[in-house]
Structure 1
Amino acid sequence: MTSRITLISPAMNRSLREARFDDGASLDPRGTARAESLAGSLRAADQVLVSPTTRCRETASALGLAAVEEPELAGLDMGRWRGLTLDEVMIREPDAMMSWLTDPDAMSHGGESVRALCERAARWLEAAAEFEGRTIAVVEQEFIRALAVTILDAPGPAFWRLDVRPLTATELSGHAGRWNLQLGRVLSPEAADR
């Protein structure tokens, strides 16, 4: 049985633009307009899921997707750093930030470690492999990065070397234990024909 999963990264918002750890901010007007312009551009799916974050839910809605919220798809829990920019944390807690950026087990912020996120993503992927059909999931960039690290069996620090642009599609096809990965396809109105 082959599963097909399309992961959509959220549209742009103030937090992404400012390199701010998710603070629950809504999409900005340009992000909303860009997502709305892509409504109907995705292939039909047998199930549509969304991360519980504001920007993912708003992206799914702007894309015209009737998505079911899936708590397991949540972004990385940043603990007390939530809402702060990378620069703000670097000024306030430089050693903690450097530890977090280099050690996938670090929980300097009191939230979730990168390794824990990767493990959560792997559990979700294992369960998703049991679903026969096409899945679309609108998820935070870090969840996509965690899945890529997991699928490629890459070392934890590789998480920080992957960039996921807003409103791109990452395609997964395969089954538990063997996945193919296509990263960062830019969404376009013509994409539904693929």
Structure 2
Amino acid sequence: MTSRVLFVSPAMSVALRQARFDDGGSIDDAGAARARSVAGSLPSAVRVLMSSGVRCRETAAALGLDAVPVPELAGLDVGRWRGRTLEEVGAAEPEAVGRWLTDPGCAPHGGESVRDLCARVGRWLVDAQGLEGRTLAVVEPEVVRAAVVDALGMPASLFWRLDVPPLSLTELSGRAGRWNLRLGRPPGALEAE
């Protein structure tokens, strides 16, 4: 049995434009319009899931999806840095930001480390590999990164080297404990599957 997980990253938001740690803000008007414009291009799925954050909920709604939030697919908990820009945090805590960006086990913000996020998403992938059919999941970019890192057995130190643009698609297909990666398809370019 082959399982497929198609990850959709959320639409653009003001926080993303400002390089701000997720602050629970909404997607912006342009992001919502872009999501609505590609709503019919996503392939059908047996199950539709999402991160519980506002951006993912609003993106799923704009895509016309009735998605169910899954705690294991929540975005990275950045603790006390939530809502602040990377520039603000870098100015106030340069050593902490430096450690955080280079040591995946570090969580100077009091939240979750990148390594812990990768492990959490990896546990979810183990369960997902036993599911028949396609799973569509609207998730934060860091969840996509964590899934790719875990699925391909990459070191967590490569997490920040993966770019996940808004409304991009990343697909994992797997069986027998092995995942394959298909990435970089914009929603409007999907072929009928």
TM tier relative to shorter chain: over 0.9
Name the SS for the 2:49 alignment partner: strand
Matched, 1:85 2:85: yes
- Give the root-mean-square deviation of aligned CA atoms: 1.0
What is the alpha-carbon distance in structure 1 between the residues aligned to residue 29 and residue 186 of structure 2? 19
Unpaired segments of 5 or more residues in structure 2?
Answer: none
Offset, 1:176:
5.3
C-alpha spacing 1:18/1:176, structure 2 compared with 1 (3 Å): farther
Q: Is the 8 A contact 1:125 1:176 kept in 2?
A: no
TM-score, normalization by structure 1:
0.97
Paired letter, 2:110: G
Matched, 1:64 2:64: yes
TM-score, normalization by structure 2:
0.97
Runs of 4+ in 1 over 4 A off after TM superposition: none
Offset, 1:177:
2.2
What is the alpha-carbon distance in structure 1 between the residues aligned to residue 116 and residue 176 of structure 2? 19
What is the alpha-carbon distance in structure 2 between the residues aligned to residue 157 and residue 174 of structure 1? 24
Paired letter, 2:192: D
What is the alpha-carbon distance in structure 2 between the residues aligned to residue 126 and residue 61 of structure 1? 27
Q: Is the 8 A contact 2:152 2:180 kept in 1?
A: no
Q: Is the 8 A contact 1:126 1:176 kept in 2?
A: no
What is the alpha-carbon distance in structure 1 between the residues aligned to residue 62 and residue 175 of structure 2? 30
Paired letter, 1:45: A
Paired letter, 2:56: C
Q: 1:7-86 counterparts in 2 under 5 A?
A: 7-86=7-86
Offset, 1:193:
1.7
Name the SS for the 2:190 alignment partner: helix
What is the alpha-carbon distance in structure 2 between the residues aligned to residue 185 and residue 134 of structure 1? 16
C-alpha deviations, 1:48-98, integer Å up to 9, x for none? 001100000100000000111111110000000000111000000000000
Q: Is the 8 A contact 1:75 1:142 kept in 2?
A: yes
1:178 paired residue number: 178
C-alpha spacing 1:121/1:176, structure 2 compared with 1 (3 Å): farther
Offset, 1:184:
2.2
Q: Is the 8 A contact 2:129 2:177 kept in 1?
A: no
Paired letter, 1:146: A
Unpaired segments of 5 or more residues in structure 1?
Answer: none
C-alpha deviations, 1:20-75, integer Å up to 9, x for none? 11000101000000001111111111000011000001000000001111111100
Q: Percent identity?
A: 61
C-alpha deviations, 1:88-129, integer Å up to 9, x for none? 000000000000000000010000000000000100000111
